[in-house]
Every structure is written in C-alpha cells, then in structure tokens.
Structure 1
Amino acid sequence: MAARCTDLPLLPGYSFDPKIGRKKFNKENVFDYIGPGNRALIEKVTPNLFGPLGDRYPSLYPRGEVPEIPAWIAYDKQILRFDAFFRETLQEFRGGHYLIRKVRIYFFLEDGTVQVAEPKTDNSGILQGTVISRQRIRLPAPMDANFYDITDFNVGREVEFYGRVFKIVDCDKFTRVFLNRVGISVPDPIPMPDDPYMKMRSKEGEASLPKKPNRKVDKLGQFLANDQKVLRFYGYWDDQETQFGYFHNLEIHFYLADDTIEIKELPDSAGSHTGFMFLSREKLPKVSHGLPAPGAQDTSILLNVLGEKASEMRYLNDALNCGKEDVAYYMDNDLTIGGVINVYGRKVVLTDCDEYTKQYYMAKYGVNDFTPPEKPEDRDAATEDMLSKKRELPPWNGYGTYEDSAQNCISLEPKGPKRDFTKFLKLDRIGMDSHILRFAARMISKIPENCTRKFIINYYLNDDTLSVFEIAERNSGFATNQFLGRGPVMLPGQAIFVSDPPKNYTAQHMYIGATLLINSFKFVLVDADEYALRYMEINSNEFPKSDINIVMDKVRQALKPIYKDFVAENLPVETPVITYEKLRDKICKILGKDFTEHEMVTISRAFSANCFKPRYSREDIRAITLTELKRQLWDDIERVTEYFKARDPCRTGILPRKECYTLLRACRLPLDKVLIERILDEMKKDENCNIYYNDLLDFLNREKCGMIDVIPINIKNELWFDSERVPRAGSLIDWCAFNKFLDLEKTFQEGIGPIEHH
C-alpha cells in the first residue's frame, strides 16, 4: 500500500510507492539454525522477555524450556455464560413504563471478548437476537482506558455496556465451577423481576383493556389448535344405474383446521379403475345452486367509491354485510356412519372410519355406535375376482429350480426369482447376532461306518435354507468338507412334478431329536449350540418346544394321576439335585414318543443346578487393580471422586455402566480396557443394572481395606471374556425348582390329602 502524508491531498502525484528502489522482495525464512548443524522450525512472534530463546520458539526444545501456552490455545472454546436483564423504557404504552428484556452475556476466555444475545421468544413484538456483537468492551468513564475482564462479572453485579446497564442474576454450571476454582465466590441466583408489560399482555391485563368491535371471523385459533388433525371416513357412490357407471369406493378427509373436505377414489384390486381426486379440498355446501356469481363469496362488500383520481379516491365498506348470503357448509357434526352427504348432486354414503376418528367422536359427541351399513352389490366384483384369481402354472418339468421355472412361465422375458426382501432385512446378520441355527447331527444308515460320522447342519433364518458340513474324525476314511451346499430342502413324501410349489423344511422342523431326510440321507439332530437354544427360547412363540410353559404344562397333565409316586421314586436324598439322565428316563417312560429330546433340554436349561466358580474373585480383581495402579504411580482418587459426584447432582449414588466406564477412561486410569470391564462386572448394581459408584470408589481406594501386592499377570489373556469357559447348563437339575414350577402339591393336598415329605 502506498504511503502518503495526511497533510497532502489524495491526488495523483501526491502519493509515493515505497517499493520504488527496492531490489530484494523475498520472504523471511521460517527455518533457522539454533546451533551447529541443528536446523529447526521457528515461529515469529512477539518477543518474550521471560523465554530462554527470546523471540524464537523452536519445536526442537523439550517441554518446560519453551514459553507457556498462550491463552487462545489454553482457553479455546471455553466461554463463561451469565444470565442478565436490562430495562427498556416504554414511552407510548399505558399501564407500564418499562420492559424487562432478558439477555445472556458470553465472556470468551481465549481473548477477553464479550457478546450479549437475547433469546428469541414467539410473539414478543420486538427485534431479538444479538444485542452486542463479540468484541472487547471498555469500562465506563473514567476507567475507559481498561477493558472488561473476568473479575468484573459475577452474580448480583451490574455492568454497563455502551450506556446500557445489565444486571447479572445467574450463571451456568461451568461458569460457577470455573470462578470458584480461580478463587472468585459466586453468590446464589437472584430471581428475575416481574415484567409489567408482559402482565398487561396476559389474559388478566387484556380483560381490562377496551376492545374495538371486530366483525372479522378469526380462524387462526382454530388453525393453531387443529392443524394436521384430519378425520378419515370411508364411503361409496353408487353410479351403476347410469351408462358406463360403476361402483366408486371413496375416502373422505375432513380437515379440522379449516372445516374443508377432500374426497379421493380408491383404486380397485384389479386395476380397472385407478384412484383419482374425486373432490379437491374445499368447504362443501350442503345445498348447491350452481356456480356462485363473481364476488358473492368475498369476505367484505364495497358499497361505493367516491373520487376520480386514485390519490383522492374514497370508499365505504358494508360493516353489516347486508347483501351477503348465508351458506350452510358441512361440519364435523354432520358426518356420521351410515349418513349421506350431498357432493354437488352426488349422494356419498359413509360406511366406516379410522380409529382416530372414532376416538374423536367418542370424546366430543359421545358416539359409541360405529356399525358399518351394508353396501350394495358391486356388479363388477365377479369380473374383478376372475381377474385377480391366482394363475395356475404348468407342472414343473424338473429342469432348474421350481422358482426359476415359475418365473419363466409368468413372463416371456426371463427374470430371476424374487426373494422375501423384508424377511432378509429382518433376519440378516446384525453384529454378533447371526440368525443361523446350528445343530449337531448323525447319519442313520444301514452301513455301520456312516453311523459314526458327525455333521453340522446350519439353518439360515433369512431365507429358510440349509447347509450340511461334515466333521471327520482322524483315520475314519472320510474328509472334513462340505456335505451339502446351501439351499432349500424339500420335505419328504411330496409329489415333485406338480404345479404347486413344494413345501420345504422350516425353522419349526429344526429341534433336537428331529429326523431330517436330505437327498435320501437320513439325519437325526442330537445337539444344538448355545446361540440356537437361546434364540429359540427368546422367540418361544415361534418354537413351542423351547417354551418352558408349554413343555411343563404337558408334563403337568401327564404327572397329575401319578404325581405322588413320581415324587417318592425320584426324590433326592443327599442333595436337592437330580441328574439329567435320571429325570429324562422317568419322563420319557411316562410321556413316551410325545416327549422329545429338545423339550428335555428346555427343562434342564430352565432348572439348571450347575455351579460356576470364576477363576478370579472380587478380591483377586481388586488386588490386581491396586497393584497396577501402584506400578503406574497413580494416586488421584480425589479427582475421580469429584468427577463422579459432579455427574450425579442429585446425589443418588447410582450411575449407568456406560457412564462409569467413560469417567474412568476420562480420568486416565492406567488400566487396560479389559480390566476396567471386569471391575465394572464386580460392582454392586441395582435392579436396572446401574452401578453404585461409591462401591467403585472404595474399590479403587487403596487406603480402604488395603491389600497385598500380587504378581503382575497378562491381563488381556487372563481376563478375556472367553478365557473362562462356563459349563453348559443342564447336567444337573434343581429338583425343588422343578416341583415348585409344576405346582401339583397343592392339588394333591386339596384332593387326595397331605403328601409325606422325605
């Protein structure tokens, strides 16, 4: 930029270019040598008298030898927020002399700037938003040489910005904590004063003000109260008596926001009549006299116009509406089930309505009868039924799959078969949930070698397909490979070359003890993995053999006549448990073939008495934790306690597990993630699995019940969730729980007599 003298005019010839005569135009280097052969990046900043390097801040020097972090980095995005108000004088308002305007004062710690903003409120009548943009503000005279700082803001103080005084009444939680930490005491919040202007605008104040007569009908209140509220009716218009007429199925919409009606025609199933707009949205008159004349529906009537020039023209409005014709329109109380409405000469009969409309009429008018009337016979219904009848395909010829052959018969252009995409999205793999049921199976054959072969049968729920994989034993003569590729498997005993699609194996055919015939090979399912059993128990409505209530009801009906003898024969003597094999043999003798192995597995899983003792107890985990904290020289339990109490302002002593994990990670505990998860597993929890964090703080505090240091272990391997194999449930059954669920003892006490307890 050319420099010039301010005393000279800004004219050509009076300004001078400083680049004239200059020969070197290069930029300054950003690299410099700070020692022999040491080249480092430097930063040109304001000289720091306290720094060891003057105005150069090389990145080569370690922490502690460079200047302190500047404020715009240390306090980046840290803002103090204060709630305040100021009074604005009202000059032309009766009943109030001032207006209370609530604002928020933001103090940016990074550069000491201040911003004042007023939150926007609906129907306030004033322009709201940013009152003072972000800037540094000077103190009022005679201290205007200085700027506002953090010490000038506090609850109860008044600050003056450009002649306007703001009263601070409150601050947010971050501001209160920050000021307390820097040594500034923050008083309690001050109540906001009442606003006389808003009182006058309230209903009590408006009742005292005289109102001018308003002849205009205000529809805004009805619109705000009933916006997006629609009554839906179903009806018909029988036009079969006219030439080329047909039966119209209609859907009537009544909009409560403005009392308008819209009628749509529903398309039929055959597609012969597509749906179209029968009546556009409008107010429907009860009696129609043809098209109204121009100006007949105007809201106001102009009586006369005086004057010749547009600037001097005067007009008179008819306030009494003498020439206006009253037209009766259909309202919500005119629409009833079985009623008839006149749609410009067409009689539309209402036959039904949706659930929301029924609730509306029951609440407003007390109508409880919504019985639909009988519809007249549709002459085109027989034709439509013939058109919609299922197409009969020719028998399958055996080439390709049935789906491919059927698709080629439907259309001339070959297309691939369509799959159930909705079922695929619902039952496809989602994270660890594979939706695959895996069963262990053995082959039933006349060849002895085949009877010893082991197979894994996978059932895919998303498309009802099967795959078989063989697991060969060593030196058996068979290979471990895929026995059958994934695909649907037909049920045995069906005719193959027919028109109807074949029935395949479904998920209900898969259970322990079931026999499957796959490509002339007979398999029996002998076991299932944990995921399959758990999935079938969760979805017991689809798998009745995994429903403990159905299974026990079957056992209950069979044991009613012999319950006393059954208890006497199988009652344990030493321990209140019974083995799986013993209970299975007894129930199978009573129920016979009606009782499957899968139902017995369901009973054993429901009343399992297996005990599992983890490798590391709570005391062992605490000893490992305290040892790790001691090795890492960590001793900051007070800060952790402060963070946990800050996240629980109501002092309930309970926090969710996820939040406890986040706080421990945020406090930078030198513990592995696996160890933190194991610590949270050992904590005390409520019925909603929330953690009592006081127990967690005592767990991490070595001063409470100190423990002896232990030898460090490989935490990732030793505490991994799959490192301790939980024994499979079902080998032992709780006899007491089994009999309590049967609940047959009360029946015998009432009908037969008391039972002798052994």
Structure 2
Amino acid sequence: MEALDVSAIPNLPGFSVRTKKKNYGRCHTFQMVNGVRIEQSEGMTFDKPKFVKVPLSLDTKRVGSMGATTVQEDFKDHVKAEVTEAPAWDVLDRHVLRFYGQFQESVVETNLENFRIRHCVIMYYLEDDTCHITERKVENSGMPQGQLLRRHRCPGPNGYLNWEDLRVGGELHVYGRVIQILDCDEWTRNFFSQQGQEQEEALEPAMDSFAETQFEIGGGGRKKVHQPRSYETVYREQRMGGGHINANMQQFMEWDRKVCRFYAVFDDLSTPQFERRPFEILYFLADDTVEIKEKYPLNCGRDPFPIFFRRGKLAHGQAKVMGPLDRERKKDEMIGLQDFEIGGSPELLGQRFFIYDADAFTRQYYAQLGIALAEAVDVRLPERTVPRPKTPPYTGYGTWDDSMGSVHTLMPKPPKKDQVKLFEHEGKILRFTAQIYKAKPEDADRLFILNYHVFDDTLSIHEPPQRNMGIMTGKFLEKGIHLNQETGRLFQMEDFLPGKIIKVYNREFEILDMDEYTRKYLDGGVQRHFDLEAVLQKLREGMRQQYPLARDIFRKFDADHDGVLTKTEFKNALIKWGFQVTEEEALLIMKAFDSRKDGQISYNEFCDCLIDEDYTNAMMKVRPKLDQDVGNYPDLAQTKLEERDEREKIRSAVKAIGDVIYKHNTNFMRLLKEFAHLTHENTVGCEQITKALNTIGQSFSLEDVQRCVAYVLPDVDFEQVEYVAFLKAVVSSFHDLSASR
C-alpha cells in the first residue's frame, strides 16, 4: 500500500488529516542568567537582548571541601573564569554618556549674517546603544529649538553608532548633519579612562555674528551699540521740541513700589445702626494715584468687596462721572500728598474720612520732607454694655443649684458637684452657738447650735435639750442649702462670725460664740500633721502595689507625658493616697525623690527612690532619713513648673499656627498678600502678623504669635521679622514637634 501524500489533500473542511505530535514537552520561555530572568531565543517576540561581561562573584563559584572534584577537573576553564555575561539593561541601566557639540547652519534670508552656530547635547545610552540629541535654548534666536533627534539607534560609520565612535574633537555624521564634538562631562571621561581610551581636551566653541551681537549688548564687549548722550544733545533735542526726557517716567523710575499708607475711619450714618467703618488710604508716589480699601472686621455681615475706590486719580469734593466731552481736571483739583495728615478730615468721594494713623514708611517719608506727623489717635468705640437682668429671688422649692439651672439655660441640666471641694473638706463641720435676736420673754433663754458643713455649704440648726424648758427641743432646721435673708445670698463662712445677725425663714439669730475647732480653723491653725517619714514609706509601698512595673507607675502620675514629675503632679499623687499635706510638707517628700535637687523628678530618680537595691554587699545599708529643711527647694520647684507651662504654651502655639499655614496651602499665599498690604517692606512686626492672621479668620493672641516667632526664628527682633522666612520656617518645622501622646 502506497503512503498517503498529505500535501495532495486539498485544505478544505473535512479533508484534513490528524497528525501526531512528536514532543509533548512545554517550552520554557524564560531562563535565569546570573539571577536575572531573560527570554529564550526560541519564540522570542523581539531581538535577542544585549549582553555585557561583568566580573564573576566569588559567591557563585562552588568549591568542594574535599579539594578538587571530578567535575572541576572536567570543567577547568569554567572554574577559572573571572567574568560572566549579564543583560545590558540590568547592568548598564541609567548609564549615559554626555557630549557637547556644535554644528554650522547657513542663513540665506538676511544680509546681517551668513551662518549660525548651533550648540547641542549628545546623549548616548549604553544599555541599548541608543542616542538622542537636544539643542540648548538661546533667547531671541528666531529658530525652533529643543529636540533635534529622538532617541533611537542611529546609523554610524560601521553600521549602527557605537560608543567608540564618539571622540572629543571628532565629528558625528547623522542624517546629513555634521556635528563637531567639543567636550564631555566628567563621568564620560572616567568611563573612557576605565576602557583604556582617554578623551582629548575640550575645544573652544566658535562664535557667530549673532552671538557677538548678544555679547556686546549684554555689556561683555568693548563695542557700544548706541552713542553716548551728552548734555548738549539733550539741550538741542529740547529746543527742537523733541527729546526723551519724560517727567512722569522719571517719577515712576524713582518712586515705583513706594506707597504712603494712611489709616482712616468714617462714621456711617446711612444705616439704621451707627457704625464706624475702618479704611486704608494708599497714595502711590510713582504716579500720584489713590486707592481706598475697606478693612472689614470679622463677622461684620458685609459682602467681601474691600476695594472702595480703585486706583486712579482722585479729585476733591463730590464724586462726579466724567463724560467724553468734559474737560480734564487740572492738577490743582486733584488730591495730593499735602492733603493727608494725621488728625485731618479730607473729603473723598463725598465722605469725610478721619485719618488717625500712618505706617512707618509714611512717617519716614514725611520726615525727609521736613514734616512731622502727629501721634496716632485712638478711634476705638467703647464696647457696648448689655444690661443684665436681675437674678430672680430663690423660691425655696428644690435646691439652689436646681433653681439657678432654669435661670441660666432654657433646658436645665442636673447641677455638677464640686468634687475637689468635696474631697478636700469632707467631714469638716463648723459649729456656732446662737440665740433668737430680739426674742420674746418666753424665748430669751433658748440656745441653738448652728452646724455649717464646709464641703457642700449646707446649714443645719438644732436646739439642745434644757431642763424644765417646757419646749420641744431637737432638730430645728433640716440640713440643706439655705438663703441668708439679711444678705440676699447663700450662707457663707463669713456670715457666722460672733456678733453678726443671720435671718433664715423669717427667723433672726444672733451669733454668740464658736467651738475651739472652728476658732482654729478660721485662724488657719487647723492642719493635719503627719509623720513625713511614715508618709514617704506608705507612698512607696502603695506605688509598688499599684502596678508591677515602675514604668507604669510613673506614667500614671505623669499627666502631661513629658518625662518628669512636677510639683503639681507629685502633690496629686499624694492626694490619691489620702494625704492632705500642706505645700511645704509635699515639697519635703518630693525633695526625697529628687536626688539632683533641680525642682523636678525624672524617671531615673523616681526608680532609684521607689525600687529597693539589688542584693549586694551594701544591701543592709539604711536609707538616709527625710531631710526636714526645705531650703530654697520651693523656688526651684516653682521655676521648673513655670518652665514646663511655658514650654507647653510654646508647643501649642507652634502647632496651632503650623496647622493654619501647613495644612491649608491657600493660607500661605493669603498671608503673603496680607503682609504685602500691611507694609511695603520685607519685614513685619508681631502685631502685624496677629492682624494678618485675624484677617484670614484665624484668631491668635500676640503672646502666642511671639512664642511661635521665637521658636522658628531664634534671636529675631519681634519688630523686624522677615515674613517670607517666617512662613517658610513654620512650614519646614511643622514635623519637628511630635504628636500629642
């Protein structure tokens, strides 16, 4: 049987013959070469990548511990190899040779020059042997510039352009253009040196007529374009009715960007409510024009259109609309600088503006003219006093706090108790003896005990029993907050002094005497005396039982997380364990913790006093007794406390102002504009910074602004702050302060 010729079967549906595959293996598209994945030659979608030789790393050589193996004997050449191949796109990535060249181009459209020298930069990329050429930009050259040749493989003398074809002093022929290579950068020279090919020295670029003209106009040449002007030339031109002297231009050149700023107000009587509106009057010395701006206060309710009169010539008197046939007003009818003075009231646009102040430049300019401006006038209106209604009398229903809650708010809330006062004065009761004032004969011998509870300002009255009295004694007034009808206020400690009269529920009592405890308390002599040594040991033991780690104990009482315990924080720690010690006693105990005696307790000092010593030869050493001499330690503690408070204020001020400037990009430019409106100089004062922040809707006190300025610009004068440097310093130092923990 003859073999079937497959090629003779027509390629039509139904006539195909199923062939059997000889190899069912899956092709490997990628392979690893020196740790880099590359595509194999079979089935590649592009040309084979370029490979370069690189030094072979010692880590890749495999040498057995028992000496040379049979494999190493068979492949001696491979074992002794010092270099290997790697893809160029991985080894030579971002390796670029840079050459500087020039080429000559003829100019046939003008008789001023015959040719033009054009300078270019040649960039050769080693990873794929591509090249692109760009031309340097020359101002007013009249020629299109930029990219001359896009990046691709260019034709060279031997096929494609190679890096060996680029030499300083040589020529590059690209698409009919001859480029002379003048120089290369330092990296390119080092590359050629490593390859054993040194580059020549740089060549001087050629000059054409256009470059020489630009050089002479720039002042670099000896030749002058124009003839020098003399006084005789100017005189002859003026006699002939010409000349180039322009008085207005002379004034503009001398006084450009010089502005006199006046601050003024005028009383607006056209509105139903009287209003004093602030303005800024700007007089431009360059062209004698005037601009009036209104300085809107915050939340004034007016539309944000600050320009009251746009910059231009301004005449005296009423505002008039000039038509095309109206004559121009004379210079004498226009507003001049002589019309402005502090305390004056010029009429502008039909309104009487009262000028009350001027900026520093204006005062300096007037001083140069021999005119001394008056001092600033205070035009601030007194704050409107809002009459406050009288507090209604206490009705007697409920407690006093409940009744006042319905007076202060429309939706009353439960009154809050003073927990600090309750904790400090718990259990303190002042007792006074009293009798009925102007009593009847049957009540003349009655005696009452008044109990005043200090911790909640409550009062209770009871009558002790007396033999053969004939009157039921006992509780006379229930404990509660009561009103003293003599003073119209709640009972206070001063109302119970002997000899005073109190009135409660229409009953008048005369205070006779007080007990010994009350007398000592009012004299300031009632204090709880503690054994400070026992308090110290009790405090140490309680702290150790609070948490297992000293770190957690320290963090518990370090309220502001600044790493030290101040006087206030240490006293709060004593109060937590119920020690109502005095200020001096608290400082004595704090001094025992503070080994350096600097007015504050650091973490190391806290651990040294809290934790017992480890087992050593000095384990049985007795701790020194508590020093009872406080010395000048209170001053040190108070100084450290004030320093910490000031440091926290500085931190808060810098963070707040930084949030305004750094987090809102528009505020940066708004502040620059506000500073430019406030002054024509590059420096401002802290008051002007505060005013600019208030203008953009951010209210800060002068002290906070000074703290921020002193932090970002140390040793700076608060009256001469460069506002551009200040804003940049605030932005750059925003992340210097860590976030609140």
TM over 0.5: no
* Greater length-normalized contact order (CA 8 Å, ≥ 6 residues apart): 1
Place the TM-score, normalised by the shorter chain, in its bin.
0.3 to 0.5
Choose 1 or 2 for highest CA Rg.
2
TM-score between the two structures when normalised by the length of structure 2: 0.40
